[in-house]
Amino acid sequence: MTEDTGAVDAGTADWAARRGDAAAEQVARLDRERATETAQARRLVEDFVAAAKAAGLPAVPLTAAAMNGRGRYRTGLTGWYLKRNGTVAVGEDGHYYLMSAPTSLASRVTGVTVRPTDPPLVVGRGGRDGESIPLADLLALRLGAGTGDVWTP
C-alpha cells in the first residue's frame, strides 16, 4: 500500500511560496515607510538649519562622546546640539549626527570622523520611558532656546 504524498508536497510548497511572497511584501512595505519617514525627517532638519541660521543661533564645534563615557573627541564639525547631553546634533551641513565614537587614545589627539545618519521622526524611540521625543518638537525646543543659550555638553 502506498500513499500519494505528491498533493501534500505541492500544497506545502504552494503555502511556503505564498508565505515567502507575503514576507517579501512586508519587508518592501516597511522599507517604503522607513524611506518616507526619513525624507520627512530630513526636511525637518533642513528647515531647522535654515531657521537657526536666520535666527542667528550660534553654531558650535561639535564633539563626540567616547563610548566609555570618559571624554569627548574633536570632530571637525560645527552645528547645534539637539540634546543638552551632546548625544544628538545637526551640523551646519544639514546632516543629523549621533555624537559618539569608539574609545581610542589616538582619537584624543587626532579627533574622530562622525558620519551622518538618517534622522528619525521620533528621537529615542524604543528607549527608556520619557527619553523619546518627536524630532519636530526637539528642533523647536532648540530653536526656542534662542541665541543666549548655547548648548554644549
What is the signed CA dihedral for 86, 58, 56, 145, rounded to 10 degrees?
40
**What residue spans define the domains of the chain?**
6-145
C-alpha cell belonging to residue 27: 519587508
pLDDT at 148: 66
pLDDT at 153: 67
C-alpha cell belonging to residue 136: 519636530
The pLDDT tens digits for 23-81 are 878 888 877 888 889 999 999 999 999 999 999 999 999 999 999 888 899 999 999 99
State the helix-helix crossing angle for 6-54 and 135-145, rounded to 10 degrees.
10
Q: Count the residues in the chain.
A: 153
The pLDDT tens digits for 111-151 are 999 999 999 999 988 776 667 899 999 999 999 887 766 66
Predicted confidence band of residue 12 (pLDDT cuts 50, 70, 90): confident
Q: Judge whether residue 6 has pLDDT over 80.
A: no
Enter the pTM of the model: 0.78
Exposed/middle/buried for residue 53 (C-beta within 10 Å: 0-12, 13-18, 19+): exposed
The pLDDT tens digits for 87-117 are 999 999 999 999 999 998 888 889 999 999 9
Q: How far apart are CA 95 and CA 80, in angstroms?
A: 11
pLDDT at 19: 82
